[in-house]
Structure formats: C-alpha cells, structure tokens
Structure 1
C-alpha cells in the first residue's frame, strides 16, 4: 500500500471515529459542538478552561484556512490522489480535534453548571 493510500485510509478512519462519537446516544450533536466553539475560545483565552491551549486552537483555525484556501501544498491537478491525501489528513485532524476538544469542553461546562457556588469540590 502506498503512503498516500495509507494516509487517506487513516484519515477516513479518523473521520469515522469522530462521526461515531458525535452520533453516540446521549452525545452532543455536531450543531451543539460547533456552537460551543466560541465559548471554548473565550474560556480558554480568559484562562478559565485549561483543557486546551490558544496555540492548539490557532492550529485548528490554520488547518481550516488551509483546507478552504485555493493555495495547496500538494496540488491535486499535478499530484492526483496524493494531492487529495494531504487535504484528507488535515480534514480528519480537524474533525477529530473538534470532536475531542468540544467533548471535553462540554463536559467541563456541565460540571461547572452542577457545582453550586460555595460548595467544596474535592
């Protein structure tokens, strides 16, 4: 199996895992996850949420910009399927990162909601 093929299949597996996580019974849907992203950024920037970093969020924004940008490091027109493989890897990383980051963030928000001010959490 070529490297491009292996990358492509790995990317598809990551996307499938992310979709399974999103469609799990009781799991927040993609709309809920995407709408939580601005709150995640604000809480991270304020230092309230330590589950991720501004650097990681910046990488996520950069990855999205790379995918939607007309400029490509490995152009499909010249490199065929290998040109698609780099995009597939980046898209799978974006999907996996959004699912994982929002999963942890939404759990953190829920925990904060359950905690009554003045109670000791230990």
Structure 2
C-alpha cells in the first residue's frame, strides 16, 4: 500500500474509533494500552473472550493493511483500491477497540472477584 493510502486508511480508522466512543467508556489510550495485556491473557489461557479465529482475523487484517500487496490494486481501480484498504483499517480499528473494551470489563470483574476471594 502506498504511503498516501496508508495515511487515508489510518485517518478513516481514527475517525471511526472517535465516533464510536461512548460516554463513560474507556478512552482510546486505555483501550490501546490494554491490547498487549489482552493478547498475553489470551495466550496464557486466562482470557477466553477472544476466540482464536477472531485473533487470526485481526492478524490477517493487520498484515493486509501493512502489506504492499492489495486484493484490489490502486493502479487498476484507484477508488476501489483505496476503499478496500480503508475498509479493512476501519474494521480492524473498531473491532480491536471493541474487543479491548470487553477485555477491560473482564479485567475489572476478574480483579473484583480476586479481591473478594483473597481479601
């Protein structure tokens, strides 16, 4: 993907994430910081809220957005070539932010349960 297309895809993903923010929901920074913890919790078997197939879709989406190879090349169909990149970037950003919000809720419940079991 060309640099300008990556920038357009990133801008569209940012707009989608900003418009999906709900009052009282974790902020973008908190959600982004939770992504590595979510991945490690999933890999260690503690968090089962993220399926292996969904995790694989995230990895494939990230590879697709970062890859210079496109399903619809911009050279042949410029508008559709950019649209597929933007679409995948928006889906990836909004899906990851939704998953991280669910993970943060799980993490809070887990800490609450652990605090009451131990304390």
Cα distance in 1 for residues equivalent to 2:109 and 2:95:
21
Q: How many residues align?
A: 106
Equivalent residue, structure 1, for 2:4:
none
Equivalent residue, structure 2, for 1:20:
19
Cα distance in 2 for residues equivalent to 1:45 and 1:36:
14
Deviations 1:39-87 (A, max 9, x none): 1111112221121113311211221111111111111121110111111
- Taking structure 1 as the reference length, the TM-score comes to 0.74
Structure 2 runs not aligned, ≥5 long: 1-11
Of structures 1 and 2, the one with the larger relative CO (CA 8 A, separation 6+) is: 2
Cα distance in 2 for residues equivalent to 1:83 and 1:20:
24
Structure 1 runs not aligned, ≥5 long: 1-11
Task: Confirm or deny: 8 A CA contact 1:45 1:54 kept in the other structure.
Answer: no
Cα distance in 2 for residues equivalent to 1:91 and 1:104:
20
RMSD between aligned residues: 2.2
Shift of 1:38: 1.2
